[in-house]
Amino acid sequence: MKVKGREVFVIIPLLVLVVFVEIGEAQTKTFLVNCGTNSSVNADGSKWIGDSDPGSNVTLSSSGIEASTDSFNGDPSYESLYKTARFFSESFNYTFKGSPGSYFLRLHFYPFTFGNRDANESYFAVAANGLKLVSEFNVAGEILLKNSLLEGSGGNSSIFSLVKEYFVTSDIDVFVLEAGGMNKAYHEDYFDAISSKSSSLWVQLGPDTTTGSAGTDALLNGLEVFKLSRNGNLAYIQKYEDVPEKSTSKSLILWVGIGAGVASIIFLAGLVMLIIWLCRRRSSKDDTKKNSPGWRPLFLHAAAVTNTGNGKGSIEYQNLGTLRSGRRFTLAEIKGATNNFDESLVIGVGGFGKVFKAELDDGTLAAIKRANPQSQQGLKEFETEIEMLSKLRHRHLVSMIGFCDEQNEMILVYEYMANGTLRSHLFGSDLPSLSWKQRLEACIGSARGLHYLHTGSERGIIHRDIKTTNILLDENFVAKMADFGLSKTGPSLEHTHVSTAVKGSFGYLDPEYFRRQQLTEKSDVYSFGVVLFEVICARPVINPSLPRDQINLAEWAMRFQRKRSLETIIDEQLAGQYSTESLMKFGEIAEKCLSDEGKLRPTMGEVLWHLEYVLQIHEAWLRKNAGEDSASDIRVLETVEERGTETSEDQTHVESKNKEDDEPATSTSGTRDAMADGVDDFSQFISQEGR
């Protein structure tokens, strides 16, 4: 490929940018502190620096007592971290230097006896930048409380999952968020913020004197600090700079050497590019005359970067306009369809811009998504959505009609969904509430769309942002998945996951994905499980105005599901519309989707199969109440139930009944159900390939 004159000047600043980005990354890291030692250890694939190590860049106000133990009963990947701890008989501070913004803090505890100090008897308080996060805290007591809540769940009694998150805004408003996740031993999670008037974050622990003589010590095994994104959500985690070290002659020499090296690289690169440009100047002018000048939109002439899961990427140049992207609209046509972007036609707003209801020149109703010309926020996600919709075709995925790229505009035109979002028919609007059958059908439709995403191509596609506002309903209340801006191509056969920055929405985010930054299809399954509970309860997934134990929908609903008492929290609009059996089966599906470990969650194909089974139960119940002969219905349900109770020892696989479905791409016919007794309540399919 020839290098044109214009491209030379583009390559030079890109080369300079790459050099400085790499150097900048070398100066930043996440704080992972191993308490009670000056040694570094490897835990869960990360390096933890000892808090007394002179090179740890962490300031400790007092030394306390360093303690260690040889006994540990937990996940071996964390054993080296939990074998040391630091005890304090008075308040102490850990201080980190950082820029203003929101921060995520995780405190690790593993109580053990050291000398005459018993961590199980310690009561202490935790504060960050003067804000008390917790008081009268006792590790053993918290574990005992969580154990009582998890009793009967079949989990390992020595491993507990309790995550408490605190988010502090600039107005010092505090609310608690509870979210479940499989964690090793025991830890506490918090959110805090550094104001613009401060440049440090300090975490204070100390004995809680309000508990009396028993509270004599504070305990800490490990500490993690991450900086969150500018908008304060879990879109991604930003690493922040180290604490500046004191200047020494060695560091000065090092920086001078780095600066000289960078300057040399820039000079040589510029010289080479200048020579190439001078040699090809004449041919560049000829090519310029032949080709029409002007700006070329990035999303039509872009380089697609593919992550292989091992940290390396490959670039493939492609023209997105050739990927079945539909009709190319002129800007005049778009303005005519939206009455010059009339604000009264706005039906949605996102980080990319606004969505307008429009009528095309042929009378077709459409939704027009327009990126904000004055802002770059969300444009990358917008390009991803265009690429995904250009390649995807399915009844339960929103279809793209076309696009417009005139005058620096980035506009997407897709089919209009007359009944809006699924959430708008559950709560928060004046729209009519959905019946239990309609809710089941909406869940089944969205499950079909997700199953197609996961299996319809060689590597599959992970949606990454499943929520009720991204499930749209057409004029017949057929559910379709929408908003593919955060979607990611799945891992190749050689890899089990895709390593990527954390993106998603509060309340729906898979805690395992958040903790390890390893994305799999099971992350979508977790989010879909939250959607199922939202369909049952008809309330927001995060509601800070509720009592502490009800703020997070997933945690709150799971407590009732484990006690098999979902009927006490079901949406009152559903009273008398459902059978107890269908609700029970529906709750079991949601519970499985929210399993702590991704490997314990079902696939979307299995979720789809069981949702269709729940719909069969409900329809048989409706016919029975209507006085119709339901003998055939009973026989069908008994057959399905027998398949659901076959043990793996029998090795008896019965093909399931072919269901009437106009989308063979997601049909679950031809599958087998081998449910292991007491091990897995979900069928194991032989084939789940999509169309």
**3-state class (DSSP) for residue 451:** helix
Query: Other C-beta atoms within 10 Å of 323: how many?
Result: 14
3-state helix, strand, coil in the chain (%, to 5): 35, 25, 40
Superfamily of chain region 28-241: Galactose-binding lectin (2.60.120.430)
Task: Out of 255-264, 328-337, 351-360, 380-389, give the one with best mean pLDDT.
Answer: 328-337
pLDDT at 641: 56
pLDDT at 672 exceeding the cut of 80: no
Query: What per-residue confidence (pLDDT) applies to 162?
Result: 30
CA 59 to chain centre: 33
Reported as a pLDDT band with limits 50, 70 and 90, residue 198 is low
> Helix or strand or coil: residue 388?
helix
The CATH number fitting domain 322-415, selected from 3.30.200.20, 3.40.50.1820, 3.40.50.410, 3.40.50.2020: 3.30.200.20
- Helix (H) or strand (E) run with residue 415 in it: strand 411-415
Split at pLDDT 50, 70, 90, the class of 457 is confident
- 595-612, pLDDT tens digit by residue? 999 999 999 999 999 999
The answer to whether 68 and 84 are in contact (CB under 8 A) is: yes
State CA 483 to chain mean position distance.
Answer: 14
- DSSP assignment of 203-243, as one string? EEEEE-GGG-TT---EEESEEEEEEE-TTSSSS-EE-EEPP
Place of tokens 């390890």: 516
pTM above 0.85, yes or no: no
Residue of 294, 298, 413 lying closest to 361 (CA atoms):
413
How far is it, in rounded angstroms, from Cα 278 to Cα 285? 11
Q: What is the rounded distance in angstroms from the CA atom of residue 269 to the CA atom of residue 273?
A: 6
Q: Please give the share of the chain, as a percent, with pLDDT higher than 90.
A: 25
Q: Alpha-carbon distance 285 to 614, whole Å?
A: 68
The catalytically annotated residue of 208, 217, 405, 465 is 465
Task: Give the CATH class of 423-666.
Answer: mainly alpha
| Mean pLDDT within 102-122 | 72
Place of tokens 């009582």: 148
465 is catalytic: yes
Q: Is 290 annotated as a binding residue?
A: no
Place of tokens 């000829």: 286
Per the CB < 8 A criterion, the answer to whether 598 and 510 are in contact is yes
Q: Which residue in 72, 362, 28 sits closest to 221, CA to CA?
A: 72
Which residue bears the tokens 């005992």?
Answer: 144
Alpha carbons 609 and 594: distance in angstroms, whole number: 17
